[in-house]
Structure 1
Amino acid sequence: MTKILMVCLGNICRSPLAEGLLRSKLDDDKFVVDSAGTANYHIGKAPDERSVAVAKKYGLDISHLKARQFKVSDFNVFDLIYVMDESNYENVKALARDEKELAKVKFILNEVYPNQNQAVPDPYYGGDDGFEQTYNMLNKACAVVAEKLKS
Protein backbone atom coordinates (compact mmCIF):
# COMPACT_ATOMS: atom_id res chain seq x y z
CA MET A 1 0.00 0.00 0.00
CA THR A 2 1.37 3.42 -1.00
CA LYS A 3 0.98 6.21 1.56
CA ILE A 4 0.96 9.89 0.57
CA LEU A 5 1.00 12.91 2.90
CA MET A 6 0.01 16.46 1.90
CA VAL A 7 1.60 19.26 3.95
CA CYS A 8 0.85 22.97 4.29
CA LEU A 9 1.22 25.46 7.14
CA GLY A 10 -1.87 25.01 9.33
CA ASN A 11 -3.52 21.95 7.72
CA ILE A 12 -6.84 23.75 7.27
CA CYS A 13 -6.74 25.17 3.72
CA ARG A 14 -4.41 23.69 1.11
CA SER A 15 -3.39 20.28 2.42
CA PRO A 16 -6.94 19.11 3.31
CA LEU A 17 -8.03 20.10 -0.21
CA ALA A 18 -5.09 18.18 -1.66
CA GLU A 19 -5.90 15.20 0.57
CA GLY A 20 -9.55 15.16 -0.53
CA LEU A 21 -8.67 15.61 -4.19
CA LEU A 22 -6.04 12.87 -4.30
CA ARG A 23 -8.23 10.47 -2.31
CA SER A 24 -11.02 10.99 -4.84
CA LYS A 25 -8.68 9.96 -7.68
CA LEU A 26 -7.21 6.82 -6.08
CA ASP A 27 -8.45 3.41 -4.95
CA ASP A 28 -8.43 3.40 -1.14
CA ASP A 29 -7.63 -0.33 -1.15
CA LYS A 30 -4.22 0.51 -2.61
CA PHE A 31 -3.48 4.02 -1.32
CA VAL A 32 -3.63 5.98 1.93
CA VAL A 33 -3.76 9.77 1.69
CA ASP A 34 -3.45 12.05 4.73
CA SER A 35 -2.51 15.66 5.45
CA ALA A 36 -0.67 17.65 8.10
CA GLY A 37 0.56 21.15 8.85
CA THR A 38 4.02 22.32 9.81
CA ALA A 39 2.57 24.65 12.48
CA ASN A 40 0.47 23.76 15.51
CA TYR A 41 -2.08 26.59 15.20
CA HIS A 42 -5.13 24.50 14.31
CA ILE A 43 -4.56 21.01 15.74
CA GLY A 44 -7.86 19.15 16.02
CA LYS A 45 -9.82 21.72 14.02
CA ALA A 46 -11.84 21.08 10.86
CA PRO A 47 -10.68 22.59 7.56
CA ASP A 48 -11.41 26.27 6.88
CA GLU A 49 -15.07 26.68 5.90
CA ARG A 50 -13.98 28.14 2.55
CA SER A 51 -11.94 25.00 1.75
CA VAL A 52 -14.92 22.86 2.75
CA ALA A 53 -17.21 24.97 0.54
CA VAL A 54 -15.03 24.83 -2.58
CA ALA A 55 -14.54 21.08 -2.14
CA LYS A 56 -18.31 20.60 -1.72
CA LYS A 57 -18.94 22.66 -4.87
CA TYR A 58 -17.01 19.97 -6.79
CA GLY A 59 -18.55 16.99 -4.98
CA LEU A 60 -15.90 16.37 -2.31
CA ASP A 61 -16.56 16.23 1.41
CA ILE A 62 -13.54 17.21 3.50
CA SER A 63 -15.54 18.52 6.47
CA HIS A 64 -14.67 15.47 8.63
CA LEU A 65 -10.90 16.01 8.41
CA LYS A 66 -9.03 17.26 11.47
CA ALA A 67 -5.82 19.29 11.44
CA ARG A 68 -2.66 17.77 12.84
CA GLN A 69 0.97 18.76 12.95
CA PHE A 70 3.67 17.07 10.87
CA LYS A 71 5.97 14.95 13.00
CA VAL A 72 9.27 13.16 12.44
CA SER A 73 7.55 9.76 12.60
CA ASP A 74 5.61 10.70 9.43
CA PHE A 75 8.81 9.89 7.54
CA ASN A 76 8.45 6.29 8.79
CA VAL A 77 4.82 6.04 7.65
CA PHE A 78 4.63 7.87 4.32
CA ASP A 79 6.22 7.01 0.98
CA LEU A 80 5.64 10.46 -0.55
CA ILE A 81 5.32 13.81 1.20
CA TYR A 82 4.01 16.70 -0.91
CA VAL A 83 4.52 20.25 0.35
CA MET A 84 2.68 23.36 -0.83
CA ASP A 85 5.48 25.94 -0.68
CA GLU A 86 9.12 26.73 0.15
CA SER A 87 8.40 27.39 3.83
CA ASN A 88 6.68 24.00 4.20
CA TYR A 89 9.60 22.38 2.38
CA GLU A 90 12.18 23.98 4.69
CA ASN A 91 10.20 23.04 7.82
CA VAL A 92 9.77 19.41 6.76
CA LYS A 93 13.35 19.18 5.47
CA ALA A 94 14.63 20.34 8.88
CA LEU A 95 13.02 17.28 10.47
CA ALA A 96 14.44 14.77 7.97
CA ARG A 97 17.03 12.53 9.60
CA ASP A 98 18.76 11.45 6.41
CA GLU A 99 18.82 11.74 2.60
CA LYS A 100 16.35 8.86 2.19
CA GLU A 101 13.73 10.76 4.20
CA LEU A 102 14.50 14.02 2.42
CA ALA A 103 14.01 12.31 -0.96
CA LYS A 104 10.36 11.65 -0.03
CA VAL A 105 9.63 15.41 0.15
CA LYS A 106 8.43 17.05 -3.05
CA PHE A 107 6.73 20.27 -4.12
CA ILE A 108 3.27 19.30 -5.34
CA LEU A 109 3.27 21.76 -8.23
CA ASN A 110 6.47 20.18 -9.57
CA GLU A 111 4.11 17.47 -10.83
CA VAL A 112 2.67 20.06 -13.25
CA TYR A 113 5.68 22.40 -13.58
CA PRO A 114 8.75 20.15 -13.14
CA ASN A 115 11.71 21.48 -11.13
CA GLN A 116 10.19 24.96 -10.68
CA ASN A 117 9.33 24.60 -6.97
CA GLN A 118 6.28 26.80 -7.45
CA ALA A 119 4.09 27.50 -4.44
CA VAL A 120 0.42 26.83 -4.04
CA PRO A 121 -0.51 30.26 -2.61
CA ASP A 122 -2.04 30.17 0.86
CA PRO A 123 -5.62 31.44 0.41
CA TYR A 124 -6.26 31.90 4.15
CA TYR A 125 -6.07 35.72 4.27
CA GLY A 126 -7.77 36.29 0.93
CA GLY A 127 -11.26 35.96 -0.46
CA ASP A 128 -13.22 32.99 -1.76
CA ASP A 129 -11.64 33.29 -5.22
CA GLY A 130 -8.27 32.30 -3.72
CA PHE A 131 -9.78 29.02 -2.54
CA GLU A 132 -11.15 28.40 -6.03
CA GLN A 133 -7.69 29.02 -7.54
CA THR A 134 -6.08 26.77 -4.93
CA TYR A 135 -8.59 24.03 -5.69
CA ASN A 136 -7.89 24.25 -9.44
CA MET A 137 -4.09 24.17 -8.98
CA LEU A 138 -4.29 21.21 -6.63
CA ASN A 139 -6.79 19.38 -8.83
CA LYS A 140 -4.36 19.56 -11.76
CA ALA A 141 -1.41 18.43 -9.65
CA CYS A 142 -3.36 15.62 -7.98
CA ALA A 143 -4.51 14.33 -11.38
CA VAL A 144 -0.86 13.99 -12.43
CA VAL A 145 0.11 12.37 -9.09
CA ALA A 146 -2.77 9.89 -9.38
CA GLU A 147 -1.83 8.91 -12.93
CA LYS A 148 1.82 8.36 -11.93
CA LEU A 149 0.82 6.30 -8.89
CA LYS A 150 -1.59 4.10 -10.87
CA SER A 151 0.95 3.29 -13.59
Structure 2
Amino acid sequence: MTYRVCFVCTGNICRSPMAESVFRARVAQAGLEGRVAVDSAGTGGWHEGEPADPRTVSVLEEHGYDGEHTARQFLPSWFTRLDLVIALDTGHLRALRRMAPTAEDARKIRLLRSYDPAAGDDLDVPDPYYGGRDGFEECLEMVEAASTGLLAAVREELGGRAA
Protein backbone atom coordinates (compact mmCIF):
# COMPACT_ATOMS: atom_id res chain seq x y z
CA MET A 1 0.00 0.00 0.00
CA THR A 2 1.35 3.44 -0.96
CA TYR A 3 1.84 6.08 1.74
CA ARG A 4 0.73 9.45 0.34
CA VAL A 5 2.18 12.82 1.41
CA CYS A 6 1.03 16.23 0.13
CA PHE A 7 2.81 19.52 0.90
CA VAL A 8 0.60 22.62 1.01
CA CYS A 9 1.43 26.35 0.86
CA THR A 10 -0.52 29.34 -0.44
CA GLY A 11 -0.29 29.30 -4.23
CA ASN A 12 1.75 26.12 -4.86
CA ILE A 13 4.53 27.95 -6.70
CA CYS A 14 7.23 28.50 -4.03
CA ARG A 15 7.37 26.60 -0.76
CA SER A 16 5.27 23.49 -1.38
CA PRO A 17 6.80 22.61 -4.77
CA MET A 18 10.21 23.05 -3.17
CA ALA A 19 9.25 20.72 -0.33
CA GLU A 20 7.75 18.23 -2.80
CA SER A 21 10.93 18.14 -4.89
CA VAL A 22 13.27 17.81 -1.91
CA PHE A 23 11.17 15.12 -0.23
CA ARG A 24 10.72 13.19 -3.47
CA ALA A 25 14.53 13.13 -3.79
CA ARG A 26 14.88 11.92 -0.18
CA VAL A 27 12.31 9.18 -0.81
CA ALA A 28 14.24 8.09 -3.93
CA GLN A 29 17.57 8.09 -2.05
CA ALA A 30 15.95 5.88 0.59
CA GLY A 31 14.73 3.46 -2.08
CA LEU A 32 11.09 4.07 -1.17
CA GLU A 33 9.71 5.37 -4.50
CA GLY A 34 7.34 2.44 -4.84
CA ARG A 35 6.01 2.87 -1.32
CA VAL A 36 5.72 6.66 -0.90
CA ALA A 37 3.91 9.08 -3.23
CA VAL A 38 4.73 12.80 -2.91
CA ASP A 39 2.88 15.80 -4.30
CA SER A 40 1.92 19.37 -3.43
CA ALA A 41 -0.86 21.93 -3.75
CA GLY A 42 -1.91 25.41 -2.65
CA THR A 43 -4.72 26.55 -0.38
CA GLY A 44 -5.80 28.85 -3.22
CA GLY A 45 -6.08 28.39 -6.96
CA TRP A 46 -4.52 31.69 -8.10
CA HIS A 47 -1.64 29.97 -9.91
CA GLU A 48 -3.35 26.74 -10.96
CA GLY A 49 -1.76 25.32 -14.10
CA GLU A 50 1.35 27.54 -13.84
CA PRO A 51 4.92 26.32 -13.30
CA ALA A 52 6.76 26.99 -10.05
CA ASP A 53 8.16 30.48 -9.50
CA PRO A 54 11.38 30.86 -11.58
CA ARG A 55 13.36 31.56 -8.39
CA THR A 56 12.11 28.29 -6.88
CA VAL A 57 13.09 26.39 -10.02
CA SER A 58 16.51 28.06 -10.13
CA VAL A 59 17.33 27.32 -6.48
CA LEU A 60 16.10 23.73 -6.76
CA GLU A 61 18.06 23.00 -9.91
CA GLU A 62 21.24 24.64 -8.58
CA HIS A 63 21.06 22.26 -5.62
CA GLY A 64 20.44 19.19 -7.76
CA TYR A 65 16.67 18.89 -7.40
CA ASP A 66 13.99 18.63 -10.06
CA GLY A 67 12.31 21.98 -10.81
CA GLU A 68 9.47 20.59 -12.95
CA HIS A 69 6.08 21.49 -11.46
CA THR A 70 2.50 22.49 -12.28
CA ALA A 71 0.53 24.35 -9.59
CA ARG A 72 -2.83 23.13 -8.37
CA GLN A 73 -5.27 23.82 -5.57
CA PHE A 74 -5.80 21.50 -2.61
CA LEU A 75 -9.32 20.09 -2.41
CA PRO A 76 -11.01 18.77 0.74
CA SER A 77 -11.88 15.53 -1.07
CA TRP A 78 -8.15 14.70 -1.22
CA PHE A 79 -8.04 13.96 2.50
CA THR A 80 -9.53 10.51 1.92
CA ARG A 81 -6.59 9.42 -0.26
CA LEU A 82 -3.80 11.12 1.73
CA ASP A 83 -1.97 9.81 4.77
CA LEU A 84 -0.15 13.01 5.66
CA VAL A 85 -0.82 16.65 4.73
CA ILE A 86 2.16 18.90 5.41
CA ALA A 87 1.48 22.62 5.94
CA LEU A 88 4.33 25.06 5.34
CA ASP A 89 3.14 27.62 7.91
CA THR A 90 0.53 28.05 10.64
CA GLY A 91 -1.82 29.92 8.30
CA HIS A 92 -1.90 26.90 5.99
CA LEU A 93 -2.35 24.63 9.02
CA ARG A 94 -5.45 26.58 10.08
CA ALA A 95 -6.86 26.68 6.53
CA LEU A 96 -6.36 22.94 6.09
CA ARG A 97 -7.96 22.16 9.44
CA ARG A 98 -11.01 24.19 8.37
CA MET A 99 -11.14 22.19 5.13
CA ALA A 100 -10.80 18.80 6.81
CA PRO A 101 -14.12 16.94 6.48
CA THR A 102 -13.55 14.86 9.65
CA ALA A 103 -11.54 14.95 12.86
CA GLU A 104 -9.57 11.98 11.52
CA ASP A 105 -8.65 14.03 8.43
CA ALA A 106 -7.60 16.97 10.61
CA ARG A 107 -5.20 14.66 12.48
CA LYS A 108 -3.34 14.02 9.20
CA ILE A 109 -2.17 17.68 9.06
CA ARG A 110 1.28 18.62 10.38
CA LEU A 111 3.66 21.55 10.07
CA LEU A 112 6.79 20.71 8.07
CA ARG A 113 9.21 22.24 10.54
CA SER A 114 7.74 20.18 13.38
CA TYR A 115 9.99 17.44 11.96
CA ASP A 116 13.12 19.56 12.52
CA PRO A 117 14.27 19.42 16.16
CA ALA A 118 16.48 22.48 15.59
CA ALA A 119 13.46 24.62 14.58
CA GLY A 120 12.49 25.32 18.18
CA ASP A 121 9.23 27.24 18.48
CA ASP A 122 9.48 28.86 15.03
CA LEU A 123 7.68 26.29 12.88
CA ASP A 124 6.77 28.50 9.91
CA VAL A 125 8.66 28.38 6.63
CA PRO A 126 8.51 32.08 5.61
CA ASP A 127 7.01 32.90 2.22
CA PRO A 128 9.89 33.97 -0.04
CA TYR A 129 7.62 35.24 -2.85
CA TYR A 130 7.86 38.99 -2.15
CA GLY A 131 11.56 39.01 -1.33
CA GLY A 132 14.83 38.28 -3.04
CA ARG A 133 16.62 35.11 -3.95
CA ASP A 134 18.09 34.74 -0.46
CA GLY A 135 14.58 33.98 0.86
CA PHE A 136 14.35 31.04 -1.54
CA GLU A 137 17.73 29.75 -0.38
CA GLU A 138 16.59 30.06 3.26
CA CYS A 139 13.37 28.23 2.38
CA LEU A 140 15.37 25.38 0.83
CA GLU A 141 17.57 25.10 3.93
CA MET A 142 14.51 24.83 6.17
CA VAL A 143 12.85 22.29 3.89
CA GLU A 144 15.99 20.15 3.71
CA ALA A 145 16.45 20.23 7.49
CA ALA A 146 12.86 19.15 8.14
CA SER A 147 12.85 16.50 5.41
CA THR A 148 15.27 14.31 7.36
CA GLY A 149 12.88 14.03 10.30
CA LEU A 150 9.87 13.70 8.02
CA LEU A 151 11.48 10.80 6.18
CA ALA A 152 12.20 9.08 9.50
CA ALA A 153 8.54 9.53 10.53
CA VAL A 154 7.27 8.16 7.22
CA ARG A 155 9.63 5.17 7.49
CA GLU A 156 8.22 4.50 10.96
CA GLU A 157 4.66 4.63 9.56
CA LEU A 158 5.64 2.27 6.75
CA GLY A 159 7.15 -0.12 9.28
CA GLY A 160 3.79 -0.33 11.02
CA ARG A 161 1.91 -1.17 7.81
CA ALA A 162 1.57 -4.40 5.96
CA ALA A 163 3.44 -4.31 2.67
- TM-score tier, shorter chain, comes to over 0.9
- Does structure 1 conserve the Cα–Cα contact (< 8 Å) formed by 2:58 and 2:67? no
Aligned position for 2:89: 85
Q: 1:37 to 1:71 in 2, by over 3 A?
A: same
Kindly state the Cα deviation for residue 91 of structure 1 after the two structures are TM-superposed. Answer: 1.1
Q: State the SS of the aligned residue for 2:99.
A: coil
The CA distance in 1 between the partners of 2:122 and 2:106, in whole Å, is 15
Counterparts of 1:90 and 1:50, CA distance in 2: 27
Q: Distance in 1 between matches of 2:148 and 2:91?
A: 24
State the shift of 1:115 in Å. Answer: 8.2
Residues 107, 117 of structure 1: 8 Å contact kept:
no
- CA displacement at 1:148 relative to structure 2: 2.2
1:146 aligns with 2:151: yes
TM-score normalized by the length of structure 1: 0.95
Aligned Cα root-mean-square deviation (Å): 1.4
Q: Which residue of structure 2 lines up, in the alignment, with residue 3 of structure 1?
A: 4
Residue in 2 that maps onto 1:129: 134
Post-superposition shift, 1:117?
6.2
Letter in 1 for 2:144: N
**Structure 2: stretches of 5+ with no match in the other structure:** 157-163
TM normalised by structure 2 equals 0.88
Is it true that 1:119 corresponds to 2:120 in the alignment? Answer: no
1:116 Cα deviation after fit: 3.6
After superposition, the Cα gap between the structure-2 partners of 1:8 and 1:45, relative to the gap in structure 1 and judged at 3 Å, is same
Which has the larger share of helix?
Answer: 2
Percent of pairs identical after alignment?
34
Structure 2 Cα separation of the partners of residues 115 and 82 of structure 1: 18
Structure 1 regions of 5+ residues with no counterpart? none
Per the alignment, residue 14 of structure 2 pairs with: 13
Residue deviations 1:59-117 (CA, integer Å, cap 9, x gap): 11122x11000101110111000001111111111111221000000011111148846
- Aligned match of 1:33: 38
The structure with more radius of gyration:
2
Where 1:120 maps in the other structure, the secondary structure is coil
Contact preservation (8 Å) 2:57, 2:67:
yes
Partner of residue 160, structure 2: none
Aligned with residue 100 of structure 2, among 87, 96, 100: 96
